[in-house]
Structure formats: C-alpha cells, structure tokens
Structure 1
C-alpha cells in the first residue's frame, strides 16, 4: 500500500543492503558456531522468542517503557486533528495516538505495520512547539510508519541479540572447554566469545548507519509532505536547545530509547562517536532541510 510520502530509493537500497549483509553475517556466524561444536541451539531459540515478542508487541513495550498512554480525540483534540490532516495528506491509515508524561521534548512512532502503529508525543514537546513545528515532527514520525522503518530495524537487530547472548553464554559457561578433548589449544568458549563480539560490533555499526540514514529520509519526507521544511528545522533547533535545560537524570532515563526518538536525548557533535549514534548530527539535518527549502523556494 503506497502513501503520498516522497519515495526514497536510497533508503530502500540501504534497507535491502543492510538486511543482505546481516543475513550473510548470520549464516557465517552460525556456521562458525557449528564448526566449533558450540551449543548454539538454545541461544537461537531464546533470540527467536525475543524477536517474536519484540516484533508483535513492540508498540505496547515502547509505550510501557516510555510511560505513554493512548488518548482519545476528546482528550487531545488538537493532536488528533493534526494527525488526521497529515494522514489525509499522506493517504495512509491513522495510527493510534499517545502522550507520554515526560518533560523531555520528543516524539516517537512504533508498531509492526501501519494498522498497528502508534505515534506518541511527550508533554514536554507539546508545551514547547508551535503548531506548525509540531506538525513537522508528527509528519517525520508518520514517515517512519509509512516506510516500515520500525519493522526493518526490529528484524535487523536480531543478529545483534544472538551475538550478544552468545557472548554472555561463552563468558559465563564455556571459557574452560578446550578444543581437541582437552588436548590443548584455545578454549572453545573464548573463540566463541571473540567471534560473537566481532559479529555484534559489525551488526551494531550496520544498524546504526541505517538508523542515521532513515532519520534523514524521514526529515526529507516530512518536509516535502508539509511543504514547510523551515518549521521542521525550527523544531529541531528548539528541541536540541531545550535538551540542555532538562535535568541530567531525566536525560539519562530517556537515552536508552534514542533509537525511537525524533531527536536524541543527548546529542553529540561531529566526532568519531557519530559511528555509534542512532541519529545524524543536528547540523547535517538542518543542512538537508535548508537545501529542500531552497528547492521549494521557501525560507
């Protein structure tokens, strides 16, 4: 089912390439485990269950973790009205709408498909943004839903879960088992742990790179849908600036959910740390929106 959000062939190519590389890495990883005689079946089953739960219950888990609550049109008429208009403009089903009691100004979207999606905003962002700015943020989140970003990122995280579990299993249970029936050589557990760490690191970097691009893609799609890239730029600047005024404890509590959020709870500048970031630097996002403004002939 297509929407009127601007298609992004770059995002599609990156999604396909990332899934292919992660799949290839998964096959090699499992092959190494089998060759080493590691007992990986239990880990794979556990990881599969975690993926199943994450896939089918991602919306409920995210709302619970971030203290979000679904609200009716009577409870939040302006918010519902804004999402109604954007969904009509994008020709897509309306997601459920939720509000999280948090002073951290942010928003997120989750759900395994468009029919099960939910868009949640914090009370902090509702207090700080003007209507046109909030509309840009909501369009950004709806773009994630339209492009099925959440599903792809959920599946892409599977290999990282497997590798992380294998690392812990090897660390706590297998370091003493040596190859060749105890005739010397490196412990199997140590080899498994090293391989698992490498696989986890590669999968982590691949998914983070995809996550950064999908944020740029969502910014672009939102700007083109609303035809107001300057409003989205204003929202980004306002949110990023206000983050500095939020208590550190609140930011630490929000930081684990950065991958979901419109803007990271703790932003970093242009450093090597960006390789591990879920979002591109603010300057890059603003530069892209400025170029779109020029293309549209708007300020």
Structure 2
C-alpha cells in the first residue's frame, strides 16, 4: 500500500470554500426569508431536507443523469481487476463500478464517501486507452474518493443550483402573481440577488474544482508511480474529445465538474473552467516525474 500524503492545499481550499459559501448562502437564505415573509425555521427545514436528499442520493442521481450502468465482475472482468488492484495500493475499499455507453472518452467518481463511492468509465475511454493509461485514469478517480472531494463539491453546488433556478424561473412564477408594482419590485430584487449569489458561488466552486483536479493528478502519480502514463492518457482523451460530434458532447456537459477531462463543445475562459488547462496539468505531472527520477 502506498504511503498517502494528505493534500493540505486541497483540504485548506475545501474548508475555505465551504466557509465562504456558507457566508454567501446564509445571507441568501436570510434575504429570501425576509422578502418572501417565510420564517427562518421553514427556510432551514427546506434547505436541510434538500441538502440531505442531494447528499445521500448524489451517487444515484449522477448515475441516472449519465445513464451509467453498474457492471459486475463477470460483465467487466478487466476493469474490476484493475480497480481492485489499485484500491489495494491506495488503501481504499473497492467502489461500485459502472460503465457509460457513449463515444465520449471520459471517467468520473461520485458518492458521499468510501462506502458509497462509484467509479465510472465510458465505453469510448475503454476503446481508446491502453492498460497503463487506463490504470492512470482510474487512479485519478480513486484519488478523488481518497480525498473525499466529491461530497464537498456536491454539497457546495446545492444552493448555487437553487439560485440558478430562481434566476431562471422567477419572472415566470411572478407572472401568476397579483401584478402589483410592489410585488414586481420585490421580484426584481430577488432576481438580482439570486444572480449575485449564483455568480459568486459559481466562481468559488469552479476554483475548488480546478484545484481538486491537480490534487487527483498528484494522487494518481502516487498510486501508479508513473505520471507519464497519466500524461499520455490526458493527451489522448483531450485529442479524441475534439473529434467527438458536438451533439454527443452537449449531452455530457452537465457532468464536466466530475469528468477527468471536460466534455466541452466550445472554448472556456480559465476563470469559469471546471478543470485546469491540459498544458498546466501536463507541466505539473512532468515536474512530479522529474522528482520521482531523482
């Protein structure tokens, strides 16, 4: 079993992100409670209920969203054997294994902890990577499980999503109101505040998402001892995604924060990207490779 070193940078960023998001969300809930004349108790029950549902059923929701199929050892023996071996090295219990039938080459991990963890790969990935590259990608996903960053991302995204839907549907809902000027004015205020909350939380979550990919890349290098294999896999996945039809990519874009390489059908600014650039990831892995060789 490899000697796992906790990533203090990732842990610090997760704590800071949750603290900042908590401050933003408490303000948002207090604001909604005041404007909508709802008691603080009702708002708290609403948030706890929905966060609980999202937290405890996050793995099932992700699998359902991606049409991932849980597979047995009989159905995917090589995949199971590889994950079992890597889990022994990483000191992890074996997660549930799933496959997504899509041409988009990718992989992701989800779940709230070790016992509920799921590692999924796409059929496109299995077809395009050799065994060493596949091991590197699976080690990356197992590093997410080891770092427990999937649960943090799931919790952090909840009220951000709530604010987004308020922005999206507030005027539609408001059209069924009395139409009084005061009501319209309150609705506009709610809409503006919701936009601000969504933008702030969106940027904080994306910043955390980018760093956790660096951390998982380092974890994969620790587990396999071969950063070059992950570099090869990342380059191959990135190059293949560019050739995948835009329609197939759009179907998977909602899962970008979980994927090892984002399935994007257009360019994104670094500030709003879920992942660091390929160049930065390769540079970081090459540095680790040099350190190993010393």
Residue in structure 1 matched with residue 13 of structure 2 by the alignment:
14
* 1:28 aligned residue: 27
Distance 1:64 1:34 in 2: 33
1:109 match: 109
Residue 44 of structure 1 deviates from its aligned partner by: 6.5
Per the alignment, in what secondary structure is the counterpart of residue 99 of structure 1? strand
State how far apart, in whole Å, the 2-side matches of 1:288 and 1:39 are.
49
Structure 2 unaligned segments of length 5 or more: list them: none
Does the aligned pair in 2 maintain the 1:6–1:225 contact within 8 Å? Answer: no
1:33-71 CA-to-partner distances (Å, cap 9, x unmatched) read 344455487776655544333222222222222222111
Q: Please state if 1:254 is matched with 2:246.
A: no
Alignment of 1:173-192 (within 5 A): 173-174=173-174, 176=179, 178=181, 187-192=185-190
The residue aligned with 2:54 is 54
Give the structure 1 partner of residue 216 of structure 2.
218
Q: Does 1:198 align with 2:196?
A: yes
> How many residues were matched structurally?
290
Match of 1:79 in 2: 79
What is aligned with 2:271?
275
* TM-score, structure 2 normalization: 0.90
Per-residue Cα deviation, 1:132-185 (whole angstroms, up to 9, x for no partner): 111010000001111111110111012213322433464234485555xx8xxx
Farther-moved stretch of structure 1 (43-52 vs 285-294)? 43-52
Map of 2:291 onto structure 1: 295
- 8 Å Cα contact 2:102-2:123 kept in structure 1: yes
TM-score (norm 1): 0.89
> CA 1:248–1:154 in structure 2 vs 1: closer, same or farther (change >3 Å)?
same
CA distance 1:197–1:119, shift in 2 (3 Å)? same
**1:145 maps to which residue?**
145
Distance in structure 1 (CA, Å) of the matches to 2:117 and 2:254 = 21
- What is the RMSD computed on CA atoms of the aligned residues? 2.4
Distance 2:71 2:173 in 1: 47
Distance 2:259 2:239 in 1: 16
CA contact (8 A) 2:256 2:274 kept: yes
Report the more deviating stretch, 3-12 or 284-293.
Answer: 3-12
Shift of 1:28: 1.7
Matched position secondary structure for 2:57: helix
- Asked if 1 retains the 8 angstrom alpha-carbon contact of 2:107 and 2:119, the reply is yes
Residues 1:70 and 2:88 are matched in the alignment: no
